[in-house]
Amino acid sequence: MLGEAGIDALLGMVTGGISLAGKGGKITKVIDKTEDLIEYEDLKKILGKNAPKSFDDYKYLKYNEGKEYLSELNKYLIKYPNSNRKYYDAMIELKKKGIDEGIFLQPVKKRAFILPSEKNDPYHIMKRITERNITDDMLRSLMDEAKCMVSQWGGTRQPFIGEKGAYVIVNHGDIWVYKTAWLKDDFNENNDIIIEVLNNVGL
């Protein structure tokens, strides 16, 4: 992972010291393709799997997003080293669509229990899985097939979302407890958009 000095050096390489802006404030100066390609290969060595997935993506990043994007991506990867750029990109794209659910991360499986919890409605999870015909095996399979997890409430509440359904677990001291769950047939519009965006970024 890059430190501050590393990211500053990288940003200098990516932007090439260019400060020219064209229409809409986006950089429009055209650099020789060979130079761009050399820079792209260097960037892949630095960022590894989190580098832009194609040369075209790199050029778009270099001339349209540049310093701010790479700086924020680097902060995300330092704070969440087990995640990767695809989850960051999905989170940013969803925010543009007005969906700000929390921090999108690579799923980390956890052992969770179906137990009474919460003072106001301790049997909420039992009611939901019964009315939605979700068996214990189906509930646990949703964790295995989740495309992403979302960190909420400082990481103590974590929705897991996948093609077949979603569920939420909450932390109670030393254990995780299922809060609620629903299958694809019960997805709302936001759930559908989240799955679409996850697919679009390659998850």
Give the start-to-end residue ranges of the domains of the chain. Answer: 4-79, 103-200
DSSP structure string for 11-72 = HHHHHTT-----GGG---PPPPHHHHHHHHHHHHHHHGGGS-SSHHHHHHIIIIIHHHHHHH
Closest Cα to residue 126, out of 113, 110, 143?
A: 113
DSSP structure string for 56-101 = HHHHHIIIIIHHHHHHHHHHHHHH-TTS-HHHHHHHHHHHHTT---
Q: What is the mean pLDDT of each run of 10 residues along the chain (203 residues)?
A: 48 41 44 76 80 82 75 88 93 96 95 83 87 91 94 96 96 92 95 97 94
* Residue range 103-200, CATH number: 3.30.2310
Residues 6+ apart with CB under 8 A from 100: 94
Neighbours of 19 (CB within 10 A): 8
